[in-house]
């Protein structure tokens, strides 16, 4: 039986002052449906309270049945990582550009969300990555990623040298611009630009995609999602590891970046007529006449 939502959090893109009007309209729509609506405090600081009670995200997550995120994929990535421990389902309204994760149109949000409130929706589980950086045998940094973990060159722009291990087995050593470890969600992001495969969200896998390798034989590898991946930086004048392109940590020679599947998953809600392949056709402009 579809879950009924009595309390819903509204979260808007923090840097967008234009988000206030559509958020206010959505809040009125939900209130008229008898829903208790709470606003993320970080959003309220930008657009005002809209007449709604506001709380910080952790407190908000403990009270709501659903979080509706209005913005772009970057906003959804940030909110997903923040709320993953609370197991709150997320629904995204696209106010960005591509919108692979925020797939509800802002122009039809009342109709679409009305159907979701009536129970007409599907739930999708998405995996995340948990990563750590080890230096001289000690963990010096860790992070969670929804899209990808990227070990790459920094501002100097010189190739880095790495050794890749999977489940403790040596795979290869390589000189390259970087290496992407991508979830199925992230397979349509940086990994796609680097020539990686598109992974359907239901596939229990991650993609290991080299960026501009200094060889013609390096190819992407698709791994079981429970594989343990280690990237050893053997030479780098300037290197960094990026988490979803939103957090980073500077690396030095000898650092080891270890990547594995996170224990928890993200629950995304979609309209019942949602089609992943139709979304790909639209976002990637497949089938258009040149």
Residues recognised as catalytic: 73
Are 238 and 155 a contacting pair, CB within 8 Å?
Answer: yes
For residue 97, CA distances in Å to 75, 133, 170, 200, 201 come to 12, 32, 40, 21, 20
Q: Could you identify the residue written with the tokens 């999977």?
A: 166
Measured CA angle at 214 (ends 134, 133), to 5 deg = 10
Which sign does the torsion angle of CA 71, 24, 84, 240 carry? Answer: positive
Exposure string of 105-116, with b = 16+ CB inside 10 Å and e = fewer, is ebeebeebbeeb
For residue 130, CA distances in Å to 116, 146, 265 come to 31, 9, 11
80 vs 86: CA distance, rounded Å = 10
71 vs 15: CA distance, rounded Å = 10
Which sign does the torsion angle of CA 80, 131, 204, 216 carry? Answer: positive
Are 191 and 152 a contacting pair, CB within 8 Å?
Answer: no
22 vs 16: CA distance, rounded Å = 12
Cα dihedral 100, 104, 106, 109, rounded to 10, equals -170
Look at residues 3, 14, 182, 187 and name the one whose alpha carbon lies nearest to residue 91: 3
């Amino acid at each position: 039986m579809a879950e009924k939502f009595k309390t819903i959090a509204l979260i808007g893109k923090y840097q967008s002052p234009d988000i206030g009007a559509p958020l206010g309209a959505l809040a009125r729509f939900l209130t008229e449906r008898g829903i208790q609506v709470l606003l993320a405090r970080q959003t309220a600081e930008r657009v005002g309270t809209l007449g709604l009670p506001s709380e910080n995200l952790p407190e908000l997550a403990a009270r709501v049945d659903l979080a509706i995120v209005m913005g772009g994929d970057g906003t959804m990535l940030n909110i997903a990582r923040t709320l993953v421990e609370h197991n709150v389902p997320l629904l995204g309204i696209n106010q960005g550009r591509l919108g692979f994760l925020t797939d509800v149109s802002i122009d039809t949000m009342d109709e679409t969300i009305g159907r979701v409130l009536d129970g007409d929706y599907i739930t999708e589980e998405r995996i995340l990555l948990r990563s750590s950086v080890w230096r001289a045998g000690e963990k010096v940094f860790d992070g969670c990623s929804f899209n990808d973990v990227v070990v790459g060159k920094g501002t100097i722009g010189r190739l880095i040298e790495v050794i890749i291990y999977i489940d403790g087995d040596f795979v290869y050593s390589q000189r390259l611009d970087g290496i992407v470890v991508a979830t199925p969600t992230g397979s349509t992001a940086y990994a796609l630009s680097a020539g990686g495969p598109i992974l359907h969200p239901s596939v229990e896998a991650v993609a290991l995609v080299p960026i501009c390798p200094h060889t013609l034989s390096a190819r992407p590898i698709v791994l079981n999602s429970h594989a343990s991946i280690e990237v050893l930086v053997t030479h780098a004048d300037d290197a960094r590891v990026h988490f979803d392109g939103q957090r980073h940590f500077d690396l030095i020679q000898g650092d080891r970046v270890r990547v594995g599947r996170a224990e928890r998953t993200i629950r995304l809600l979609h309209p019942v007529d949602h089609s992943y392949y139709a979304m790909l056709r639209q976002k990637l402009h497949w089938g258009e006449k040149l």
